[in-house]
Amino acid sequence: MKIDDWLLEILACPACKAPLRAENEAEELVCTGCGLIYPVRDDIPVLLVDEARKP
C-alpha cells in the first residue's frame, strides 16, 4: 500500500473525525477513535462509512 505520510496525516475518519493509522499488511486504514476499518483499493482509501467494517 502506497499512501504518502503527508496524506495520512490529514485523513480523518468520516464517522468520528479521529486520525487514521495504516495497516500495511492488510491494506486497510484503522480509525484510532471508533475503530472502524476502511479498505484501501489500488492504493486509494475508500473512506465511506458504508464500506467500513467493525473491529
At residue 1 the predicted structure's pLDDT band, cuts being 50, 70 and 90, is confident
Q: Is 34 a member of any domain?
A: yes
Q: Please say whether the dihedral angle defined by the alpha carbons of residues 40, 45, 49 and 51, taken in this order, is positive or negative.
A: negative
Whichever domain contains 35, its CATH number is: 2.20.25.10
Q: Is 21 a member of any domain?
A: yes
Query: HSE (CB half, 13 Å, CA atoms) of 53?
Result: 4
Q: Total structural domains in the chain?
A: 1
**pLDDT at position 34:** 96
Mean pLDDT value across the chain:
93
- Distance in angstroms (rounded) separating the CA atoms of residues 27 and 11: 15
User: Tens of pLDDT along 8-52?
Assistant: 999 999 999 999 999 878 899 999 999 999 999 998 999 999 999
At residue 55 the predicted structure's pLDDT band, cuts being 50, 70 and 90, is confident
pTM of the model as a whole: 0.89
